[in-house]
Structure 1
Amino acid sequence: MVLQIEQEKRLSFNRSIKDGDLVIVYERHDVMKAVKVSENGVFHNRFGTFKHSDWIGKSFGSKVLSLKGRFVYLLAPTPELWTLVLSHRTQILYIADISFVVMYLEIVPGCLVLESGTGSGSLTTSLARAVAPTGHVYTFDFHEQRAASAREDFERTGLNGLVTVGVRDIQGEGFPEEFCGRADSVFLDLPQPWLAIPSVGKMLKEDGVLCSFSPCIEQVQRSCEALRSCFTDIRTFEVLLRTYEVRQRILESHPSKDGDSVDYHPCKRRLGCDESERIECPASPSVMIKPCTEARGHTGYLTFARLKCLV
């Protein structure tokens, strides 16, 4: 009970920053870094030098100044931000795929979730928050060093009470027998997921849901063939995210011949007018929106299936 209460506190972040905490130092939306706070620590970036001692006692979300007077924000290590700053040991899932997975796997507090493989732990972090405070995520990776690094990350983010990392070749051995009939959901990120599907069928509760992530459509086809024997409601999705840039620009307003005002960019002149005829008017801000030129494309296919109920 004490562990559960402490875990809820750590996940809520409704407290002050303490010595030993992990914080996300935010410069802008594409420049962030995870930093462990220490009493005598110092953080350096392009804005100057920041003393960790000035951070201790402040709330998450606070703005702190460098010795040069520049500032950064100290943010809580939420799953969304952790996905953007974690060390990439493998290719990771990003926010669009993660949110889709958590929804379609029907994960709620108290669920028992099995995952293979762990990789960099991006998805695992979000799964842990979804099952908190009474559920648990058991994640497996065949690579021992990768599993050890993931354990260290979950310690840093305070999720070690919700996540257990195991070393196991799920494709060859299947999930441990101790989970038979106990899992609410299973997630697979494997090169040959169809080899693990018979084991998944044994692990899931009746009406439990499986998700398999695969980058190639040929993997999806073979997985769907293997799913037909024990699963129903088989569906595959591809999530494509398009980001828009929102910026404020200054436009100048000039009267037209009929008396209406017309907006012009301050760098442009009215057609047919020389500089002496130009009317100086106060500039007004305008919000400009356009699609981002570097949109993230295909990441992978998400195949979902529901275990058939025994009649």
Structure 2
Amino acid sequence: MNKYNSACFSGIDKVYGRKGLVKNAMQETEESTQHEKSEYIQPGDLVLIVGKDHKESIVRIFEGKEHQSHNGVLQHNQIIGKLWGSTVYTHLHVAYQLLPPSLEQLIRGVRRATQIIYPKEIGYMLMKMNIGPGTRMIEAGTGSGGLTLALARMVMPYGHIYTYESRPEMQALAQRNLEEIGLAEYVTFHVRDIAEGFDQRGVDALFLDVREPWFYLEQVHAALKGGGFFGCLLPTTNQISELLRNLGPHNFGHVDVLELLIRSYKAVPDRLRPYDRMVAHTGYLVFARALLPLPPEIPDEPNTGKPEKPAYAADLFEQQNFKKEGRNE
């Protein structure tokens, strides 16, 4: 197991006197994060450019380049050295705000050839499956790489994502998306049918985004460590039922099934109300834990018909009788 996985995420380690390792690992993570978040925009930064019409563009900034829009041209040299949150103007004098993109905006902004998993599912899944710095995780069904992006962002700088996709063109698209954002170094891309199994063993978590996940539970269990986290996204209830029938026989337990709904509101103080439309059903999430096989059963002792008291209970009972009778040993 990656040493930083246990250092960053095992509260048990604190009990057993590994506070120094925990502190050092967390301090290194904090320092690297602070280094990335300069208050001034630098060449190579990803910048969220937002116009007055609330249209957004995510652009990587380079000296001498320019960003073109229907509202005019923004020179990258205008942006370099500006404070985050500043406003700049195109050559047509149209204002744009410069913001650091959030993880949710990065996911929505990836080039896609397939439907991506929505951020509302991703956010819950990250907590439910205990994903963080140092986690080693397998993802199957890479698609356009939206989930892969989120996973890589969460496990960096010490963890790693192993993602599997059977279609070479989709894996190539996902890899380009991760490279453009600068997270490809935390991901290993495999082009393979997962029926052949996974190369990794003892990973912390595994997530499937495939049509018939129940066919691959043996391969999933072989890749997970004992107690590891399994997750799956499915669009229909009949798929969930089939998966549930197969989880127990493959040594998975502690199963949860859920659906997440988010309703956005118009942020107008005097006319606060929900938007007329919402993205309702996007998919069902199924979670489980990988369990070790049960040990052989111990034969039961002959039943005398009376429940046997534990030894400590029998001793206590005898002491009470001695006190009632005024006897002392």
Q: Higher relative CO (CA 8 A, sep ≥ 6), structure 1 or 2? A: 1
Per-residue deviation, 1:300: 0.5
CA RMSD across the alignment: 2.4
Aligned length: 267
Which residue does the alignment assign to 1:276?
none
Which residue does the alignment assign to 1:232?
253
Q: 1:305 aligns with which of 273, 278, 288?
A: 288
**1:15–1:151 Cα change, 3 Å:** farther
Which residue does the alignment assign to 1:175?
198
Greater share of residues in strand: 1
**1:155–1:200 Cα change, 3 Å:** same
Which residue does the alignment assign to 1:158?
182
**1:154–1:38 Cα change, 3 Å:** same
| Cα distance between partner residues in 1 of 2:252 and 2:53 | 41
Per-residue deviation, 1:244: 1.0
Aligned counterparts, 1:100-139, within 5 A:
100-139=124-163
Which residue does the alignment assign to 1:89?
113
Per-residue deviation, 1:105: 0.7
Return the TM-score normalized by structure 2: 0.75
Q: Is the 8 A contact 1:48 1:67 kept in 2?
A: yes
Return the TM-score normalized by structure 1: 0.79
Per-residue deviation, 1:217: 1.2
Per-residue deviation, 1:216: 1.3
| Cα distance between partner residues in 2 of 1:112 and 1:56 | 36
Aligned counterparts, 1:200-279, within 5 A:
200-229=220-249, 230-248=251-269
Per-residue deviation, 1:30: 5.6
Is 1:198 the equivalent of 2:241?
no
Is 1:32 the equivalent of 2:56?
yes
Deviations 1:106-161 (A, max 9, x none): 11211101001111211112111221221111111111111112111111111122
Structure 1: gaps (5+ residues): 249-286
Greater share of residues in helix: 2
Percent identity between matched residues is 32
Per-residue deviation, 1:247: 1.0
| Cα distance between partner residues in 1 of 2:252 and 2:41 | 47
Per-residue deviation, 1:302: 0.4
| Cα distance between partner residues in 1 of 2:53 and 2:93 | 20
**1:120–1:58 Cα change, 3 Å:** same
**1:295–1:23 Cα change, 3 Å:** same
Matched residue SS, 2:238: helix
Matched residue SS, 1:228: helix
Q: Is the 8 A contact 2:214 2:242 kept in 1?
A: yes
Q: Is the 8 A contact 1:118 1:147 kept in 2?
A: yes
Matched residue SS, 1:88: coil
Matched residue SS, 1:101: helix
| Cα distance between partner residues in 1 of 2:267 and 2:208 | 36
| Cα distance between partner residues in 2 of 1:107 and 1:147 | 22
| Cα distance between partner residues in 2 of 1:11 and 1:157 | 17
**Counterpart code for 1:64:** V
Greater Cα radius of gyration, structure 1 or 2:
2
| Cα distance between partner residues in 1 of 2:145 and 2:35 | 17
Structure 2: gaps (5+ residues): 1-24, 296-329
